[in-house]
Amino acid sequence: MGDLFLFGQNNSFCRVMKNPNPSVGDRALPHVRALDAYVPGKQPRDLGWIKLNTNENPYPPSPVVEEVICKSAGEALKTYPDPISAALREQLAGFFGLPGSEWVFVGNGSDEVLNLLVRTFSDRNRPVGYMAPSYSLYPVLQKMQNAAKAELRYTRAMGLPIPAIARCGANIFFLTSPNAPTGVGISTGSVEALLNRFGGVLVVDEAYAAFAEEDAIGLLARYDNLCITRTFSKSHSLAGMRIGFLLGNPGFVELLDKVRDSYNVNILSQLAGLAALSDDGYYRDLAQKIKRTRDRHFEALQGRGWFTYPSQANFLFTEPTDSKGNTGPLVAQSLYDFLYRKKILVRYFGNDPLTDSFLRISIGSEKEMEIISEAFDQWQNSA
């Protein structure tokens, strides 16, 4: 690049040398340079790990899904997928009893749907609101958009602060129900009470609804500022296929269709989603099995004297106690490290005072949960 000349009085000028080789970072937007990216749970590629850190379903998808993918993997791949996932939208609308497919948007995982919502409804004058602790992607998306934020805090009791949300000034507010990472459910009555007081867009993120006692689907027809996001990752054992969706009035769907990628959901994912919906009984049985395992191990953790939140998700959030009766961040980190050495992965959120003495444990298979329970015994005996 050439030099920059600055003209002064009497047409005099001086020469200022420009950086001849600016870095890629120098060219980036300042808010992007300052961004801390979302950090997902570890995904080890070597064998022998027990993965209880990313809330995946421990059981395989329906055999119907595998059959459809195997049959379609050849011929189908040479053409572009349906750009709006029309068949999957229609099937989802019928599955949830909605008036039509115009009430459904399908995305490349629910993360894409959340991203598009932030892109559509927020900027520096229209804040993104969310509770903390909750899904840690929300503040990342807010910062990516360079939008204002309205972050509200839970207390340890995890009560929903409806008046504070109603007056927080957010143009769009994300409410995770059941909450992550605690697993605490939010009643439909509480969601409706909030809708009656909050004037912005309310997004109820129901990623774990398959394991919960209730959901907000029945409110969609009455509140045009409500939308619900869900995913096939946890409930349908399809985390690797990246299928998420939004349920809401057609105004939401029309807007998101304007800002999504042209072919945002690949053809195999669309087919897998359709196949999964066709075998609802299989997945209902899986959800019940996971809930029974969850509840059994919740009682076991309470029996150890560990404070554990009652969970309506496919994980447990527990505060470990060592052999001396101590709790806290050092104790939680100690157990995390002990499990890691035994090639057992759980999740530790050490950057928040409400979570830094806890571990989040995904519900695995019966065998995996037996192994981690034995590891708890070994840790307590050695601590």
Per-residue pLDDT, 42 = 87
The answer to whether residue 14 scores a pLDDT higher than 90 is no
Q: Is 63-278 in the same CATH topology as 50-57+281-382? A: no
The mean pLDDT value of the chain amounts to 94
Residues 271-325 have pLDDT tens digits of: 999 999 999 999 999 999 999 999 999 999 999 999 999 999 999 999 999 999 9
Nearest one of 281, 282, 253, 269 to 87, comparing CA atoms: 269
Of 116 and 35, the one with more pLDDT: 116
- For the domain made up of 63-278, the CATH class stated in words is alpha beta
φ and ψ of 129, to 5 deg: -115, 150
Q: How many CB atoms lie within 10 A of CB 283?
A: 20
Band of the pLDDT at 210, cuts 50, 70, 90? very high
Per-residue pLDDT, 1 = 44
Question: What average pLDDT score do residues 135-146 get?
Answer: 97
Tokens representing 191 are: 């969601």
Distance (Å, whole) CA 185 – CA 57: 19
Question: What average pLDDT score do residues 13-28 get?
Answer: 68
Question: What average pLDDT score do residues 347-360 get?
Answer: 97
Tokens representing 269 are: 């994912």
Using CA atoms of 108, 112, 116, 122 in order, give the dihedral in degrees to the nearest 10: 170
Residues facing 172 on adjacent strands: 128, 201
Tokens representing 33 are: 């340079």
Band of the pLDDT at 39, cuts 50, 70, 90? confident
Domain definitions of the chain by residue range? 4-33, 50-57+281-382, 63-278
The answer to whether residue 123 scores a pLDDT higher than 60 is yes
CATH code matching the domain that covers 50-57+281-382, chosen among 3.30.9.90, 3.90.1150.10, 3.40.50.720, 3.30.70.20? 3.90.1150.10
H or E element that contains 203: strand 201-205
This prediction has a pTM of 0.92
Amino acid code (one letter) for 333: Q
